[in-house]
């Protein structure tokens, strides 16, 4: 399929990119690796007046650390993240999520910023313009109905990013830049939970970096994913866990996040009160997995039934916690 007509913009400095966003606002679409944007352009899901390629912004690349945190530039590729010795040691869930995100070719093109900022997906929305013309207009297209859940007053499209749940489990923050100011928010605050407009990103803001604070003491993390094909598919269910322990191996802190379970990654908030202060037993892990199951949405809007995907959330949550515990035991 041919691309629609648009003005192509290619800034070489961050200030220039921010100025373009300030000028064009909602008329410009940002492209980095292009693995989602180009497809959406071809399908006519988006038809912006301009496309801004930010791959020449070298200031947004690379992974660095200091005593308190790990910093990842928004233009850092999925491949670089998956192969980073630093992240394999200090942010294992993120490295695992990157490794499972895509095929080698796509991983070499796609960026962490693009993976985080991808749109929500639904079988009735992610179609060509020709197909959509033959369907009723859903919430995602500006209509007043949901084709996946009849009679629903909201959009049930699903956020299927891999890196966001893993980063949220490690309590990552993101830095957003606009002309004249910037702000730093938790990654979880970036998601609205609204399938129609899933990102709390202003029209003139640019994601420039992700910051992962280093937990104190001994900690371990893990990411687990369910998909049809092993290296190229979006998650149909996912779970990430980050656990830190005291000297006597009691949990000091934990964060469990599930993905592909609604329009945003979801933190299993009750897990902390159940697990912290304990050395988790099998029953505790199973109880947290059940919490994750209850929190997930089982809607038939992806390629496998929602009820089955919900059950897999339970399985993956248990596996992610167990894998994080195994890492802790090895490091003990």
CA distance 205 to 195: 20
68 & 50 share domain: no
Residue 150 lies in a domain: no
More confident residue, 331 or 168: 168
Residue-wise pLDDT for 140-176, tens only, equals 999 999 998 988 889 999 999 999 999 999 999 999 9
Query: Which residue, among 168, 184, 180, has the nearest Cα to 264 in the 3D structure?
Result: 168
Residue 130 lies in a domain: no
CA distance 189 to 173: 9
Residue 197 lies in a domain: yes
Of 1-5, 205-209, 308-312, the least confident: 1-5
Between vectors from CA 165 to CA 175 and to CA 144, what angle results, nearest 5°? 90
pLDDT for residue 279: 86
Domain, as residue range, for 231: 61-117+158-331
pTM across the whole model: 0.95
pLDDT for residue 4: 92
Q: How many CA atoms within 13 Å lie on the side-chain side of 226?
A: 25
103 & 203 share domain: yes
More confident residue, 2 or 24: 24
Residue 147 lies in a domain: no
Helix, strand, coil shares of the chain, percent, nearest 5, are 35, 25, 40
Q: Residue 101, exposed/middle/buried by CB under 10 A (0-12, 13-18, 19+)? A: buried
Packed helices 282-295 and 306-331: angle between N→C axes, nearest 10 degrees: 140
- Tally helices (H) and strands (E) across the chain: 12, 12
Task: Please compute the mean of the pLDDT values over residues 203-221 and round it to a whole number.
Answer: 94
Mean pLDDT (the chain, rounded): 94
Task: Please compute the mean of the pLDDT values over residues 200-224 and round it to a whole number.
Answer: 95
pLDDT-based confidence at 67, cuts 50/70/90? confident
265 & 222 share domain: yes
Residue 306 lies in a domain: yes
> Number of folded domains in the chain?
2
Contacts of 142 (CB under 8 A, 6+ apart): none
CA distance 173 to 155: 27
Decide if pLDDT at 1 tops 80: no
Burial letters 42-75, b for 16+ CB under 10 A, else e: ebbbbebeebbbbbebeebeebeeeeeebbbbbb
Q: What is the dihedral of CA 25, 101, 234, 91, to 10 degrees?
A: -80
Decide if pLDDT at 5 tops 90: yes
171 & 69 share domain: yes
pLDDT for residue 130: 86
Phi and psi at residue 226, in whole multiples of 5°? Answer: -115, 130
The enclosing domain of 2 has a CATH number of: 3.30.43.10
Residue 136 lies in a domain: no
Residue-wise pLDDT for 261-317, tens only, equals 999 999 999 998 898 888 888 999 999 999 999 999 989 999 999 999 999 999 999
């Amino acid at each position: 399929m041919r691309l629609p007509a648009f003005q192509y913009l290619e800034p070489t400095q961050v200030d220039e990119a921010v100025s373009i966003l300030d000028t064009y606002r909602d008329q410009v679409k940002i492209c980095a690796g292009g693995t989602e944007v180009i497809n959406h352009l071809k399908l006519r899901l988006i038809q912006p007046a301009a496309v801004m390629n930010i791959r020449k912004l070298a200031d947004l690349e690379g992974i660095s650390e200091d005593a308190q945190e790990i910093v990842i530039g928004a233009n850092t590729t999925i491949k670089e993240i998956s192969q980073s010795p630093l992240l394999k040691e200090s942010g294992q869930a993120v490295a695992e999520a990157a490794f499972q995100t895509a095929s080698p070719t796509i991983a070499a093109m796609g960026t962490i910023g693009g993976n985080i900022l991808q749109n929500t997906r639904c079988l009735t929305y992610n179609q060509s313009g020709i197909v959509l013309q033959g369907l009723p207009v859903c919430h995602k297209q500006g209509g007043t109905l949901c084709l996946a859940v009849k009679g629903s007053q909201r959009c049930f499209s699903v956020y299927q990013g891999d890196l966001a749940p893993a980063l949220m489990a490690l309590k990552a923050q993101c830095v957003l830049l606009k002309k004249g100011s910037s702000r730093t928010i938790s990654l979880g605050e970036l998601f609205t939970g609204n399938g129609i407009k899933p990102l709390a990103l202003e029209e003139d803001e640019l994601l420039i970096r992700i910051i992962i604070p280093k937990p104190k003491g001994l900690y371990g993390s893990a990411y687990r994913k369910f998909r049809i094909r092993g290296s190229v598919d979006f998650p149909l269910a996912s779970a990430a866990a980050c656990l830190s322990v005291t000297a006597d191996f009691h949990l000091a802190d934990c964060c469990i996040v599930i993905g592909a379970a609604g329009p945003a990654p979801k933190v299993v908030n009750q897990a902390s009160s159940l697990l912290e202060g304990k050395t988790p037993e099998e029953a505790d892990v199973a109880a947290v997995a059940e919490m994750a199951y209850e929190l997930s949405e089982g809607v038939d809007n992806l390629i496998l039934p929602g009820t089955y995907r919900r059950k897999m959330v339970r399985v993956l949550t248990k596996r992610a916690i167990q894998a994080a515990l195994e890492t802790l035991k090895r490091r003990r």
